[in-house]
Structure 1
Amino acid sequence: MCNYKKVLIPVDFHDDNERLVAKGKRIAADNNAELFLLHVDESLSDLYLFEAASFSGHLKEFKQDLNRRSQEKLAQLGGDLGDSHLLVREGKATGEIEKAVKELGIDLLVMGSHGHSGLRRLLGSTVNVVLNHVHCDVLTVRTKAEDA
């Protein structure tokens, strides 16, 4: 069995995140590993480039509020984890997860998988994209949305 030193759990604030974080915490505790939680706020300026130019002041306020709310939700999920282990980033989730793995020297990535099939699997989920770009172990925890 591997001894992991740094574990990263990306979360999207879906209902299944508590289960995912609990599993990641157990693994980190069993390995006496450092644990990090990451949430990525998708870049609003990429989605609304034209509107962003004309409402840049409002967009900046909105982004700050979104970041603050994300930090609060992450703190609730993380419980006793310190602020330095709660990461909120802005951008594309796959790219930011990959960057965090590299920057932090993560050796285990614990990700939730909603078990999509068909077209969504063919197009690639966040887990599939990240899995093919990181150089660490990846544990996928199957989670299903209640309405699926």
Structure 2
Amino acid sequence: MYKHILFATELNETKSYIEDKVTQLQQLTQAKLSIIHVVEPIPSAYYSGEYGVISGLGSVDSIGTTKIFEERAKEVLQPLAKRLNISEQDLHIPIGHTNEEILAFAKQENVDLIITGSHGVHGLQLLLGSTTNAILHGAKCDVLAVRFKE
């Protein structure tokens, strides 16, 4: 059975039904459980200058902005880690491209199951693909894509 489960989550994915599945699988397998949330770097055009689209950041550069998002993610994910009864050292918030960081972590840490949420694919996502799709096709381990209830 599984020895290391990775819960790849977005900040808005902390719904009880996905947490329940993660908890049940971890308890069933007694596997180590890690949580990952990736902070994607934002191009400076989105927040810089007088007309930046991210308000309230003042004159923060790309490194500062990324750090703010990383801290906010940690604040949101710490209660999730507590609910799932895992230590803070098993909570990972890398900076980079989401699917690449998740797949790299899974390979490096010998993850044998990635659990992630799955949204219905509509419109532009059909052309560009989704993170879940990239994980499904790139992972060297099992992937459980939990469908979000709409």
TM interval, shorter chain, is 0.7 to 0.9
Which segments of structure 1 move beyond 4 Å, counting only runs of 4 or more? 49-52
With over 3 angstroms needed to count, the CA separation of the structure-2 counterparts of 1:5 and 1:49, relative to structure 1, is: same
Q: CA deviation at 1:14?
A: 1.2
Whether the aligned pair in 1 keeps the contact of 2:113 and 2:144 (CA below 8 Å) is yes
Q: Distance in 2 between matches of 1:50 and 1:83?
A: 31
- Where does structure 2 lack aligned partners over 5 or more consecutive residues? 49-58
C-alpha separation in 1, matches of 2:149 and 2:60: 36
Residue 138 (structure 2) pairs with residue 133 (structure 1): yes
Pick the aligned partner of 1:69 from 68, 72, 76. 72
The alpha-carbon distance between structure 1 residues 50 and 131, as it changes in their structure 2 partners (threshold 3 A), is closer
**Percent of aligned pairs sharing the same letter:** 29
Q: 2:22 maps to what in 1?
A: 24
**34-43 vs 7-16, greater mean Cα deviation:** 7-16
Query: Are the counterparts in 1 of residues 81 and 88 from structure 2 also a CA contact under 8 Å?
Result: no
CA distance in 2: counterparts of 1:84 and 1:75, whole angstroms: 11
The two structures have a TM-score, normalised by structure 1, of 0.82
2:36 to 35, 38, 41: 38
As a proportion of its length, which structure holds more strand?
1
Between the aligned partners of 2:14 and 2:86, the Cα distance in structure 1 is 19
The 5 Å alignment of 1:1-148 reads 3-15=1-13, 17-44=15-42, 47-48=43-44, 58-59=60-61, 60-79=63-82, 80-117=85-122, 119-145=124-150
Where does the alignment leave 5 or more consecutive residues of structure 1 unmatched?
Answer: none
* 2:79 counterpart letter in structure 1: Q
1:94-128 Cα offsets, whole Å, 9 max, x none, are 11111111111000011100122455234311111
Q: Which amino acid aligns with 1:26?
A: Q
Q: Cα 1:78–1:62, aligned 2, differ >3 Å: closer, same or farther? A: same
Q: Match of 1:81, SS? A: coil
CA contact (8 A) 1:9 1:21 kept: no
Offset at 1:84?
1.1
Letter in 1 for 2:88: D
Q: CA deviation at 1:61?
A: 3.1
Aligned residues: 137
Q: 1:8 to 1:144 in 2, by over 3 A?
A: same
